[in-house]
Amino acid sequence: MTAPIVRFAPSPTGLLHVGNIRAALFNWLYARRHGGRFILRLDDTDRQRSKAEYETAIERDLAWLGLAWDAKERQSDRLVHYDEARDRLVASGRLYPCFETPEELEFKRKRLLAQGRPPVYDRAALRLDETARQKLEAEGRRPHWRFKLMPEEVRWDDLVRGPQHVDEASQSDPVLVRADGSYLYSFTSVVDDIAFGITHVIRGEDHVTNTGAQIQMFRALGGAVPVFAHLPLLVDAAGGGLSKRTGSLSIGDLRERGIEALAIDALLARLGTADPVEPVASLAPLIATVDFARVGRAAARFSEEELAQLSARTLHMLPFEAVRDRLGSDVEESLWLAVRGNLSTLADVAAWAAVLHGSIAPVIEDAAFLRAAAEMLPPEPWTEQSWKAWTAAVSAATGRKGRALFHPLRLALTARETGPEMAKLLPLMGRTRVAARLQGQAA
Ligand code: GLU
């Protein structure tokens, strides 16, 4: 197959959330798997709601998730191309001016519904003659413009949903140009998809309803119709939609809560697919398995708890090189390997670094026992076997076993009830620190 060219096309009118990142991720993975190109297209024709700060946030989130783009485009830079395409559609009779006010349209809609008929636009504007049109314009009415749909069944083979068909004869002609001259997304998107040679439109299922009309627009503008892949939407535990505006699941929030980028990638790439959701140490395994045929059609259930757990499991498997740049210089590889299995978030490392290299206030359960244990500390150098040798000697001398033996030692040395294996921690603490803590001294 020829290399795909795909695009992720967010509107910079809000923050990215897990729902739209799923579309970004599938576009990116698909491009990488098949040696294609991934374009970031900012759909910023809505000048009121588009904001530079959202654009910055979108780029930051994508970069953080590892989804680098090969090219970036802004719709606001491309208005001349939309004007040109609009003029071509007008010239070929596929775009026609309409003068109805929103109130008039609403009235027509209600009347049709009351008659038990589908509320399809009646194309009254097509029947206006020149005089009637001039009269309306003289009244100061500015037209909006509708795309004249061909009354045909449009078919496409959706990579996720399988064969699809929609009868355009039963649809309203969509408005492509507003009365103020601004364009609607469904039109500018088609113009750009043609201009950039987009081969695959990968997006959320909420756009399925645009697809039939868009296919007709591709044809009317002489463009190649891309392949479509519509991903099922994400739902929450209760089955409700994840709203873009809740903010609680914005990528920025998840980052601040310490969720690993790779966990977000792994969860969203695999949720609702035939492949297991499991932690990954890089994007490579996700690239290797991305396949629309393996995406289920049912809505995918997103759970923050599952994400938090996957994030922790991701940390547990990450090699030192993968996190080195994000750790303080006091955290070396041996410390990372000793504690990573106990982390919920990367920030937890700091507390373990203090236990191993810094100073903590030991928790003393039984001072006499700990003093006795201190006297039996073996000489350095220590290895992972030192803990076993030492506690065996302490056990032989004191008669203690199991929890009575280990619990006071762990509490004195780490000030915590649980944590990584003591055998790994002991050599990293060093004898001076261990001896001091066993005496109850902060060290
Ligand atoms: N700007 C549109 C959106 O954010 C893009 C949809 C598409 O991918 O065609 O929903």
Write down the pLDDT at residue 245. 45
Rounded distance from Cα 85 to ligand 1 centre (Å): 19
For the CA of 7, the closest atom of ligand 1 is 8
Q: What is the mean pLDDT of residues 197-213?
A: 96
- The rounded mean pLDDT for the chain is 95
Question: Ligand 1, atom 3: nearest CA belongs to which residue?
Answer: 10
Write down the pLDDT at residue 161. 97
Mutate to test the pocket of ligand 1, among 185, 198, 230, 233 (most ligand atoms within 8 A of CB): 185
Residue 247 confidence (pLDDT) above 60: no
Rounded distance from Cα 264 to ligand 1 centre (Å): 21
Taking the CA atoms of residue 303, residue 304, residue 307 and residue 313 in that order, the dihedral angle to the nearest 10 degrees is: -110
Rounded distance from Cα 286 to ligand 1 centre (Å): 23
Q: Which band of pLDDT confidence, cut at 50, 70 and 90, is reported for residue 328?
A: confident
* Cβ within 8 Å of residue 50, ≥6 positions away: 11, 12, 13, 42, 44, 76
Render pLDDT for 349-359 as a digit per residue (tens, 0 to 9): 999 999 999 99
Residue 240 confidence (pLDDT) above 60: yes
Question: Ligand 1, atom 10: nearest CA belongs to which residue?
Answer: 10
Rounded distance from Cα 305 to ligand 1 centre (Å): 28
**Residue 182, class by beta-carbon neighbours within 10 Å (0-12 exposed, 13-18 middle, 19+ buried)?**
middle
Taking the CA atoms of residue 416, residue 417, residue 423 and residue 426 in that order, the dihedral angle to the nearest 10 degrees is: 20
Instruction: Let me know: does 112 contact 120? Beta carbons within 8 Å.
Output: yes
* CB hemisphere CA count around 239 (13 angstroms): 1
Q: At what angle do helices 208-220 and 185-195 cross, to 10 degrees?
A: 50
N residues, the chain: 443
Residue 236 confidence (pLDDT) above 90: no
Instruction: Let me know: does 88 contact 221? Beta carbons within 8 Å.
Output: yes
Q: Distance between CA atoms of 345 and 310, rounded to whole angstroms? A: 11
Q: What is the mean pLDDT of residues 216-224?
A: 98
144-147 and 95-98 beta bridge pairing: antiparallel
Rounded distance from Cα 188 to ligand 1 centre (Å): 10
For the CA of 203, the closest atom of ligand 1 is 8
Taking the CA atoms of residue 107, residue 112, residue 115 and residue 117 in that order, the dihedral angle to the nearest 10 degrees is: -160
Pocket of ligand 1 (CB under 6 A): 9-11, 43, 185, 189, 201, 203, 207
CB atoms closer than 10 angstroms to residue 63: 12
Q: Distance between CA atoms of 97 and 184, rounded to whole angstroms? A: 15
Rounded distance from Cα 166 to ligand 1 centre (Å): 20
Rounded distance from Cα 336 to ligand 1 centre (Å): 41
Write down the pLDDT at residue 242. 75
Q: What is the mean pLDDT of residues 366-377?
A: 97
What tokens were used for 248? 């609680």
Residue 50 confidence (pLDDT) above 80: yes
Question: Ligand 1, atom 6: nearest CA belongs to which residue?
Answer: 9
Rounded distance from Cα 322 to ligand 1 centre (Å): 33
For the CA of 202, the closest atom of ligand 1 is 8
Rounded distance from Cα 169 to ligand 1 centre (Å): 25
Residue 244 confidence (pLDDT) above 80: no
For the CA of 23, the closest atom of ligand 1 is 8
* Alpha-carbon 12 to chain mean position: 15
* Cβ within 8 Å of residue 131, ≥6 positions away: none
Q: In 139-184, where does DSSP find H-type helix? A: none
Q: Is 113 helix (H, G, I), strand (E, B) or coil?
A: helix
Q: Which DSSP symbol is given to 277?
A: -
Taking the CA atoms of residue 175, residue 176, residue 177 and residue 182 in that order, the dihedral angle to the nearest 10 degrees is: 120
Render pLDDT for 14-27 as a digit per residue (tens, 0 to 9): 999 998 899 999 99
pLDDT > 90 fraction of the chain, expressed in percent and rounded:
94
Instruction: Let me know: does 271 contact 19? Beta carbons within 8 Å.
Output: no
Mutate to test the pocket of ligand 1, among 54, 207, 243 (most ligand atoms within 8 A of CB): 207
Render pLDDT for 281-315 as a digit per residue (tens, 0 to 9): 999 999 999 999 999 999 999 999 999 999 999 99
Question: In order of start, what are the domains of the chain with their CATH numbers?
Answer: 323-443 (1.10.10.350)
Residue 237 confidence (pLDDT) above 90: no
CB atoms closer than 10 angstroms to residue 279: 20
Angle at the Cα of 275 (from 326 to 258), degrees rounded to 5?
Answer: 25
Residue 404 confidence (pLDDT) above 60: yes
Beta-bridge partner residues of 71: 39
Beta-bridge partner residues of 98: 144
For the CA of 186, the closest atom of ligand 1 is 9
Mutate to test the pocket of ligand 1, among 20, 75, 189, 225 (most ligand atoms within 8 A of CB): 189
